[in-house]
Structure 1
Amino acid sequence: MKKILILLGMLLPVLSTNAQSKTDEVSAITKQVDEMVNSWNKHDHSNMKNYSTPDCSWVNIVGMWWKNLKEVEYSTQFYHTNMFKNTTMVNKGVNVRIINPTTAIVHFKSFVSAFTTPNGQQIPGSDDIALLVYVKQNGKWLMTAGENVVIDSLAQKNDPVLHMNK
């Protein structure tokens, strides 16, 4: 019994440190997502290098694939100058799954307000979800890939998971 207590006494601090470390990592990643939201709401993406890798890629909501930071920053800024200049983005939730000490998957839910397309079509605000991949480089979490989609509220009612035995 004494050996078990000694072993538990040695393991508990390690487990506690690991849990705290994971919480710190999730917090650091969430702050990086917040930086992306701040860039959107300021309509200025010149600081993207602070939260993205140089080789990051992004597939946007209509399937355009931008393959490095230069393309992602240029295209995002282009749309904010021309189409999203009056929009706001609201963070509706960040779910972080640490894959290993240097890789994380993030599901990021947001609401983007209404906007007008270049051809004059009015698009209502929508709930969106993005899948983001973060890597830790030089002690900092950076987005290396992302893709976002509109959440179709009508289709959500037919999600089979809603009727699954749990």
Structure 2
Amino acid sequence: MGLVISRPADAGRAFADAWNRHDMDDFASLFCENANFVNVVGMWWKNRSEIEAAHRATHETMFRDSQLEGVVSSVVELSPGVASVHYVWTLTGASAPDGSSAGPRKGILLLIVKEQQSGWLIKVAQNTDIVPGAIAPSSR
């Protein structure tokens, strides 16, 4: 079934790969059945079916031509078989509600991945937009 995450550091790449192919079957296969996902505007999906349905709808509309590029900036083992992954991303090609270009966006995706017999699956995802002009605490 779908994509396989062979190690935590591959989670961000697998997420972006399924996103860029707009393959929501593969995308959904990256998540545990009872996964949680909070998106950049605070919508909270509480299982794989909700995550898939929400992303399928947006990939048929505003994200239809989008491309997600990024880099894994952090992998932390939280306990044996559980890790956090921070994926810093740039999204291009998205559409605004009126069909015009939404312009590029940047953000940070936090994935909590859990080891299963078949590989690693995403248990929790939290996505955050990086607000243009925001000053990071370390920059003050």
TM-score range, shorter chain: 0.7 to 0.9
Counterpart in the other structure of 1:160: 137
Indicate if the aligned counterparts of 1:58 and 1:147 stay in contact, CA closer than 8 A.
Answer: yes
The one-letter amino acid of 2:18's match is S
From 89, 111, 131, the equivalent of 2:90 is 111
Counterpart in the other structure of 2:29: 50
Cα distance per residue 1:73-125 (max 9 Å; x no partner): 11111100111011100023341100111111111101000422334464211
Q: Which ranges in structure 1 are unaligned for 5 or more consecutive residues?
A: 1-26
Q: Do structure 1's residue 87 and structure 2's residue 73 form an aligned pair? A: no
Higher RCO structure, 1 or 2 (CA under 8 Å, sep 6+): 2
* Normalised TM-score (structure 2): 0.86
* Normalised TM-score (structure 1): 0.74
> What SS does the corresponding residue of 1:155 show, helix, strand or coil?
coil
Question: Cα RMSD over matched residues?
Answer: 2.0
Task: Show the 5 A alignment for 1:7-26.
Answer: none
Q: Which has the higher helix share?
A: 1
Percent identity, aligned pairs only, is 27
Indicate if the aligned counterparts of 1:61 and 1:148 stay in contact, CA closer than 8 A.
Answer: yes
Q: Which has the higher strand share?
A: 2
| Cα distance between partner residues in 1 of 2:110 and 2:11 | 14
Counterpart in the other structure of 1:96: 75
> What SS does the corresponding residue of 1:96 show, helix, strand or coil?
strand
| Cα distance between partner residues in 2 of 1:48 and 1:100 | 25
> What SS does the corresponding residue of 2:60 show, helix, strand or coil?
helix
Higher alpha-carbon Rg: 1
Task: Show the 5 A alignment for 1:66-85.
Answer: 66-85=45-64
Counterpart in the other structure of 2:3: none
Indicate if the aligned counterparts of 1:87 and 1:113 stay in contact, CA closer than 8 A.
Answer: yes
The one-letter amino acid of 2:54's match is S
Aligned length: 136
Q: Which ranges in structure 2 are unaligned for 5 or more consecutive residues?
A: 1-5
Q: Do structure 1's residue 34 and structure 2's residue 13 form an aligned pair? A: yes
Q: Do structure 1's residue 127 and structure 2's residue 106 form an aligned pair? A: yes
Indicate if the aligned counterparts of 2:19 and 2:27 stay in contact, CA closer than 8 A.
Answer: no
- Structure 1 position 30, deviation (Å): 2.1
- Structure 1 position 45, deviation (Å): 1.4
| Cα distance between partner residues in 2 of 1:28 and 1:50 | 15
